[in-house]
Structure 1
Amino acid sequence: MMIRLLLIILTIAQINGDKTNKDSTIENTRPIIGILTQPTPTSWMKPNRTTYIAASYVKYIEATGAQVVPIRMYQSIDYYLHLFNSLNGVLFPGGDFTDEYFFVAKLFYAWSLKDFDEIQKSFPLWGTCLGFEVLLMLTRYSTGILEPCQGYDYATELTFMPNANDSRLLGRSLPLNIKYALENEPTTANFHNFCMRPENFSADPILSTFYKMLTISPDLEGRTFVSTIESLRYPIFGVQWHPEKNAFEWRVNTTIPHTKNSVEVMQYMANFLTNQTRQNMNHFNSLGDELKYLIYQYTPEFTDLDTSHFQQIYYFYE
């Protein structure tokens, strides 16, 4: 009798163990990532309240096996909350700072932290260039924490900080050949006019305890700036540089790197983000609901490679 009881207990334990293992390996095979739109610059001569997404960001995400939803400006809180509960992560793209962009980013940032703290639910956020800067601003509760710098239109290497080795983004998951390229070749395209200096980051008690400073880079004057970060606690990641440009932007007379290694850098960063979103099991209420939001209903417009920053642009007319 005792032996039979022990066998039953062991069987139950094995079943529960199997359930635990299965739960730990759950993977969302249909990840959908939101990308913030932003107001078009006035010099583009578009109608009032027109917003856009550079198509390179869409290609960047779609190349990893994820789908894209544009997160439009000038919408209701209910609209943004519905997307937060339906998407698996959000990318904050580069561009020009606007109050509208900051407002929407703040919503998703606050909701992501709240869900992680209250129900241990991961909703990844990724910031590129302006998106990187906005993440720092949101964490610091200030838009005045950056300083002007010479960081526009050049490619450079990264200097890894000691704690990068045990990070999620640049730790054990980073292939050695890509790490070598990042450290020794100009594989990161920079197009920014503001910087977070390492000394300012380290001296800030809020930023330095919320984020890891993973890499630094030199600007065109030889001064260093923080170039890659990740949150210590939350699924939040940021790069001051532009991985998506390496494969998808072909503007002439720029320094965007298009080497094999620089494209592999792009692929690693994009895959990392999508793999983070695969841990989130959000979904739309129905296929019909999903189709209403996916970017497929919009057509990117080709732009003049001699004058535009981007090869193709999605425009959204509000």
Structure 2
Amino acid sequence: MKRNTIITIAFIALLLLIIFIHNFYHNFKNKKCNNNSFTKEVIDKVNPIIAIISAPLGGTRKTDSSMRNDKLFKARSYLPLSYVNWLQLAGAKVIVIDCFDNKENIENKLNYVNGCLFTGGEIDTVNDKDLKDYISTWKYVYNFSKSNNCPLWATCLGFEFLALMEQNEIEIFNIFRKGGILTNVKGNRISSKLIPYESFNETFKLDCSLLKQATENESLYYNHSFGYILDVATKNAFEQDKFDILSYNYDRDNVKYIGTIKKHGKEIYGTQWHPEKVIFEWKIEETLHNSISIRLAQEISNFFIKKCNNYKPKKEFSTEQKKWLIYNYDLYSYSKIKTVFEQQKYFEMLEENFDQFYLIIDYN
């Protein structure tokens, strides 16, 4: 009897061991596949059209005497090419919406796109008309995005405008001219660790190893002179405007400011940091270029393009609209102007024809 009991117990133990080994192998295999294999979501066709909105050209550039005999002297707006590259990195095509275009043409283009992006850079806050026109275009695109849940991304300067978009145009203009909730910070040329709230990865769903590395090592590059200090008043203002704060960081004086936001319930995102610079900008020596920052930038690009790919525009982009694609415009070599960007494109209206621009590519 005892012998039979021992045999039975041994058999059960062996059976349990076999089950354990099988489950362990199965879970390990699945875990490995989840990290490395293609899923249906990944192999879906990726072909979104993203509109980048240009920004007004700074007054200094427009009055530089060395430019007077060059087409760039007549340019009104520009965009850094690194943002185009960052979107193309994840499979997107790019068209341009000039910030001085009329609302009819802007809406026409918005009806064909899967998403929009507002760049970083600099803006001429001395020229009242240019600033007001830019704010008006910003509001128009923002309201379109919010109403249709069309994905929108805004970086640095774009982030600073995005956070004010629930205000009216006069209030936004006054904040940029006179200050207010948007204030001076010492955030120029800083590489930092990611400091996320839980909502950051609830939103972006980064791989656990990448998130850990990004929070333990320099992974974000900042280059800005203005920002939103993360105090009680600012936090309340963001909550009132239904912006979720996903991450924060510190400037050179250890002042805590907002790093990443998302519009609550909408596919609208903003970062004070630059995912595009760590891959495509090399002119500033301090720009961060390590493997973690590059991988993070790639994953954020993939995330946004996936959101865009899931959005169905009102009209189908076809042969007629292909003339809007950014690489179809004429290019003009230009190397005189001082800029922090590797490449820029400059836009000039031609006799009020809002579908034609001069594009000048800058290799500084």
Per-residue CA deviation, residues 97-138 of structure 1 (Å, 9 max, x unaligned), is: 4333322111011112222xxxxxx30111100111111110
* 1:68 corresponding residue in structure 2: 94
Q: Whole-Å Cα distance in 1 between the matches of residues 314 and 323 of structure 2?
A: 13
Q: Secondary structure of 2:187's partner? A: strand
The answer on whether the counterparts of 1:27 and 1:278 sit within 8 Å (CA) in structure 2 is no
TM-score, normalised to structure 2, is 0.72
Which of 131, 134, 142 is the matching residue for 1:109?
Answer: 142
Q: Whole-Å Cα distance in 2 between the matches of residues 296 and 264 of structure 1?
A: 26
* 2:340 corresponding residue in structure 1: 309
CA 1:187/1:221 → structure 2, altered by over 3 Å: closer, same or farther? Answer: same
TM-score, normalised to structure 1, is 0.81
Which of 194, 198, 203 is the matching residue for 2:230?
Answer: 198
The answer on whether the counterparts of 1:28 and 1:281 sit within 8 Å (CA) in structure 2 is no
CA 1:243/1:174 → structure 2, altered by over 3 Å: closer, same or farther? Answer: same
Unaligned ranges ≥5, structure 1: 1-23, 116-121
* 1:155 corresponding residue in structure 2: 191
Percent identity between the two aligned chains: 25
* 2:78 corresponding residue in structure 1: 52
1:29 lines up with 2:46 in the alignment:
yes
Unaligned ranges ≥5, structure 2: 1-40, 65-71, 124-130, 176-180, 350-364
The answer on whether the counterparts of 2:100 and 2:134 sit within 8 Å (CA) in structure 1 is no
Q: Secondary structure of 1:246's partner? A: helix
Which of 166, 171, 182 is the matching residue for 1:146?
Answer: 182
Give, in angstroms, the shift of residue 300 of structure 1: 6.0
CA 1:84/1:261 → structure 2, altered by over 3 Å: closer, same or farther? Answer: same
Cα RMSD, aligned residues only: 2.5
The answer on whether the counterparts of 2:75 and 2:346 sit within 8 Å (CA) in structure 1 is no
Q: Secondary structure of 1:291's partner? A: helix
1:225 lines up with 2:257 in the alignment:
yes
Between stretches 28-37 and 125-134, larger displacement belongs to 28-37
* 1:41 corresponding residue in structure 2: 58
Give, in angstroms, the shift of residue 89 of structure 1: 0.6
The answer on whether the counterparts of 1:303 and 1:312 sit within 8 Å (CA) in structure 2 is no
Question: After the TM superposition, which residues 125-274 of structure 1 pair with which residues of structure 2 at under 5 Å, given as runs?
Answer: 125-141=152-168, 142-143=171-172, 144=175, 145-166=181-202, 168-169=203-204, 173-199=205-231, 200-204=233-237, 207-208=239-240, 210-253=242-285, 255-274=286-305
Q: Write the letter of the residue equivalent to 1:164.
A: F
Q: Whole-Å Cα distance in 2 between the matches of residues 154 and 27 of structure 1?
A: 37
Give, in angstroms, the shift of residue 158 of structure 1: 2.1
Name the count of aligned residue pairs.
Answer: 283
Q: Of the two, which has the highest radius of gyration?
A: 2
Q: Whole-Å Cα distance in 2 between the matches of residues 59 and 185 of structure 1?
A: 25
The answer on whether the counterparts of 1:216 and 1:227 sit within 8 Å (CA) in structure 2 is yes
Q: Secondary structure of 1:227's partner? A: strand
Q: Whole-Å Cα distance in 1 between the matches of residues 336 and 188 of structure 2?
A: 18
1:279 lines up with 2:310 in the alignment:
yes
Q: Secondary structure of 1:251's partner? A: coil
Per-residue CA deviation, residues 236-259 of structure 1 (Å, 9 max, x unaligned), is: 111001110000001043x21111
Q: Write the letter of the residue equivalent to 2:85.
A: K
Q: Secondary structure of 1:216's partner? A: strand
